[in-house]
Every structure is written in structure tokens, then in C-alpha cells.
Amino acid sequence: MSADADFDLFRTSEDHEALREAVRAVSEAKIAPFAAAVDEESRYPQEAHDALVAADFHAAHVAEEHDGVGADALAVCIIIEEVARVCASSSLIPAVNKLGSLPVILGGSPEINARYMPKLASGEGFFSYGLSEREAGSDTAGMRCRATKDGEDWVLRGSKAWITGAGVSEYYTVLAVTDPDGERGRNISAFVVEKSDEGFTFGEKERKLGIKGSPTRELHFDDVRLPGDRIVGAEGEGLKIALRTLDHTRITIGAQAVGIAQGALDHALAYVKERSQFGKAVADFQGIQFMLADMAMELEAARQMVYVAAAKSERGDADLTFFGAAAKAYASDMAMRVTTDAVQLLGGAGYTRDFPLERMMRDAKITQIYEGTNQIQRVVMARQLLQGLPKA
């Protein structure tokens, strides 16, 4: 293999960079102008919703056979990154549509995919993911939500917590225990629940530190009857499908974190070049330059980790579990540091709502928590290392 071919492995394609330009244009023109109001009013970013659907960026991962764009994993990460650069809440639209639908794509029958994926691709119905419960966050196998067989149907009882997009999404991939006496973790199945199903309701919106434009609510199931063909995969395979999903989708949270950090760095750079102190631009002080250099260095390292993990996701590499967890953990820790430093660079102005830095700092925090806390990511990585990291 030539040296040029080797280097091509670490370069995004022309198509990826053209996509970045297109998403950035949409984000800056149709999403950024509303980002502050979305946060201030804690309201759903309908403007971003409409813009992303119109451009086919809301669920670009859906395959062409289901009338989707068929974007690869790296392309989806670039979409999320560019939207998050201006509005983290809005970036959850493509991220959660992938999270909610990927269990169906990975484990569902051709029939269930043909039923739901075209609706997602067209924007007719979004997807959310129902895994966590109040007492079963990191310990997913400890869930209490139950689905009981009744003839050809299933009857769903219980609740789910911290569900992103709840109330907006039309479809929900929900995990529930189907064999209470079965082996822990192998007694869980996955189902598609529709918003219109009788007995399915939502809790009040959570009052959150950040990503205030993305609704987070509980899902309540009061004897919700589901037809037998709503099961995703085989009975008892739900948790395996759910965890396999997270191997892929944790990378999108890394992309979101990279986007938030890039937006913060962009604003901080512009500010320190314009503001003067002691007769010269703030950017001319070496201490400030060192801060900027460290921020950019960590940001680029995180971006490359995310892109490598996305490539592994697309190929289905054996070491994806490690790289997905590593990309998510590193990028989200980086985003918290970079946004905090960006606020510092603006001084008192950074602490006000006149600038977007304090919002970006608040938004960055959740990337260290959802889709598995960064403590859990380290458990995942350590387990992979101790077992002997499989080769790609």
C-alpha cells in the first residue's frame, strides 16, 4: 500500500466535507438564530425540526431501500457535530432518531423495518429510545417494566425515565422484562410503542440544567396492548440489541460534544481577537494563547477519536465497543473543559446570557452523563482491555 493510500484512511472524503458545508449553512441560517430563545423559553426547536426535515438531515442514517438518505456513520456524526456547534438541543433530533430506531434496524425483522423506517425517513414520525428507569439507569438489567404475553399480543406495564424526545416522537423502542423468572439480562425484550397506543402517557417535562429545548419526560404504560408483530428481534434478545445499539450511538454523543466545543472555541477566538486590555488585543497575551492552543488540541484529538470510532461503526469492527466508549468519554470530558475555558476567556461577559458560552457550558455537561455515564464508559473500556481487546 502506498503512503498516499495510508494517509487517505485518515481523511474525510470530498462528499463528507460537502455535507459539512451544507449542514453548516442550514445550521447558521435556520437554527442558530433561534438557539438562545429555545434555551431561554425551554421550548422545542421547531424551526430546527422543520429545517432538518426539509434538508433530509433529521434521520440521514435510514437506508435508501426505505426511502432514506443512507448516510454512513461518519456522515451522521458530521451532521450532529455541525448542528451542535450552534444548538445542542437541535442536534438531538438526528442523534435520538438514530438511537431510537437503530434497535429496529439492527434486530428487527424486514417487515417491522418496512413499516417504520419510511415514516422516519420522511419526517412523518420520529423515534425515541426507552431503556432507562428511575431505579435502573446504569444497571439496565435491573429494569422493572414488564411485558406479559396475552394470546398473540403483549401487555406492557411500568414506566421509563429520562426519555429524550418524549412527547414529540411518534415511535418508541421500549425495553421490558418478558420473563421475570428468567436469567437476568436475558429475560428482556424490545418493542415498538406508538404514541397513539391506548394507555401510553407521558410525565411532566424535566427541568434541566441544559439542552432545555429537547423535551425529557417519563413514559408511562398502563396495560398498553401491543400486537405481537411489534416485538423487535426474538423474545429475550432485547438487552443484547439495546447494548449493541449503544456501541454505535455513543459515538454520536461524542460528535455532539465535539460540536458544542467547536462552537465555544469559535466564539472565544472571535472575542479575544476583538477585545483589548492594557493597550493590546487579549489574544496577544501568551497565557491566553496557551489556553487556546490546549483547547484546540484537545478538540482535534476528540474529533479524530470520534471519526475513527464512526468508521469502525460503519465497518462493524470487533473493537467497536472499546472505541465507541472511548470516543464518547474523551469527547464529552473535553467538551466540559473547553466550554468552561471558553467562559473564562470572555471573563464576566462569558457568565452572561448575552453570549452563548454559558449555554454551551451547561449543554456540554449532559454529554458526560447520558447514553452511559463516563464512569460506565470506563468500566466498558476496562472490561474490554482485561478480556483482551479484539482486533478490528
Catalytic, out of 81, 218, 358, 371: 371
The pTM of this model reads: 0.96
Ordered mean pLDDT values, 10 residues apiece, the chain (392 residues): 46 95 98 98 98 98 98 98 98 98 98 98 98 93 96 98 98 98 96 98 98 98 98 97 97 98 98 95 97 98 97 96 98 98 98 97 98 97 93 73
Q: Which CATH superfamily is domain 127-239 in?
A: Butyryl-CoA Dehydrogenase, subunit A, domain 2 (2.40.110.10)
DSSP 27: I
DSSP element (H, E) containing 225: strand 216-226
Q: What is the DSSP string of 325-391?
A: HHHHHHHHHHHHHHHHHHHHHHGGGGGSTTSTHHHHHHHHHHTTTSSS-HHHHHHHHHHHHHH-PPP
3-state secondary structure of 21: helix
Q: Does the domain formed by 3-122 have CATH 1.10.540.10?
A: yes
Q: What angle do CA 287, 293, 297 make, to 5 degrees?
A: 150
pLDDT of residue 9: 53
Tell me if residue 371 is catalytic.
yes
pLDDT of residue 5: 44
Q: Which residues pair with 226 in a beta bridge?
A: 154
Whether 332 contacts 324, CB under 8 Å:
no
**Domain residue extents for the chain:** 3-122, 127-239, 240-387
Nearest-angstrom CA–CA distance, 391 and 281: 50
Q: Does the domain formed by 240-387 have CATH 1.20.140.10?
A: yes
pLDDT of residue 373: 97
